[in-house]
Amino acid sequence: MKLIKLSQVAAVAAALLLGSAANAQIEERTIRIGHPVNADHPISFGVKKFSDLVAARSGGKLKVREFPALQLGNEMQQLSALAGGVQEMFAPGTPPIAGMVKDFALLDLPFLVDTPEQADALLDGPFGQALLAKLPEKGLVGLAFWENGFRHVTNSKRPIKRLEDLEGLKIRVQQNPVFIETFKALKTNPVPMSFAELYGALESKALDAQENPYLITRSAKLNETQKYLSSTSHAYGVIAVLVSKKFWDKLSSEEQKILRSAAIEARDYERQVSRAQAKRAVDELTAGGMQFDAVPAAELARMRQATQGVVNRVLQTYDPTMVKLLQTELERVKKIK
């Protein structure tokens, strides 16, 4: 009996020593994390979850401060601040990252995945990890991919139910070559423009249409200028949770473990919130006067075929190793329904 009690005491003592050793590796730190959207968006919900997890796992020593809606500067300014070690964290969409690591633009290819589950498998698997592995040489560390969601077309002219309904629409697109070429292939008239200018351009009728996830369309009140909402699902928007490598290298292994595990757990939560809110956003937009049209699968296949030439041309300009990995992974994930 004494032996049993002594072994139990020893086990408790060992656990306490391990706990105190891990705690000693955690310093008091404030971590600023910026992101591009408002505080009512799922990305912000994900940041709050991340903050709570980090605080709990560090005994309150690591404090995460959220700066939504590009309060710390535009995307390129914040990426530069991370690379320079001036800012600790940033959670941007992947298009601005492609300006630093070209291969990230592969995620902008049209009709890359068909479902959220396929997107999860692609991003959390070997291809997503290969993208993250390219960041440290640019002064960044990637912890996880979160969701911005499928992008859909809205317009003020007519319902979009077929490929032909897109023809001639003057549509705002991101300042991104892949998006520009995609919408040219769909026979629209794409106009690259900053998001800040979008509402005014739609309101003045300088533009007919735009494309964004449902939640962005709702939060930016674009339903005030657009009548028709169509489920084109032509691209899937991705958020990358980034850390400054200069800051990361100052952290202990325990602190790094806390940030990485919290970002992954918050990823799963953020995706759940995003998908639930997207469904509610459609209801809210239609209640606000928009007409919603679900594009039939056969028409989505025609749109995909119309943009296949863009995909083929783009892939020829990328690292063949990454292209092969992407194609292999797409074969795998497309089996997921």
pLDDT tens for each residue of 203-261: 999 999 999 999 999 989 999 999 999 999 999 999 999 999 999 999 999 999 999 99
pLDDT at 99 over 60: yes
Cα angle 33, 273, 52; round to 5: 45
pLDDT at 11 over 70: no
The domain that holds 69 is classified in CATH as 3.40.190.170
> Is 300 contained in some domain?
yes
Cα dihedral 284→288→289→290 (10° resolution): -40
**16 vs 283, more confident:** 283
Confidence band, pLDDT 50/70/90 cuts, at residue 15:
very low
Confidence band, pLDDT 50/70/90 cuts, at residue 10:
low
The pLDDT of 53-68, averaged and rounded, is 98
> Is 4 contained in some domain?
no
> Is 95 contained in some domain?
yes
pLDDT on residue 159: 98
**270 vs 195, more confident:** 270
> Is 84 contained in some domain?
yes
> Is 72 contained in some domain?
yes
- List the one residue out of 72, 74, 52 whose CA is nearest residue 63: 52
Do 178 and 108 meet the contact criterion of CB atoms below 8 Å apart? yes
> Is 3 contained in some domain?
no
Report the phi/psi class of residue 60: left, alpha or beta, with left for phi > 0 and alpha for psi in -120 to 50. left
> Is 13 contained in some domain?
no
57's tokens: 């796992």
> Is 5 contained in some domain?
no
Count how many domains the chain has: 1
14's tokens: 């060992």
Find the domain containing 69 and state its range.
26-333
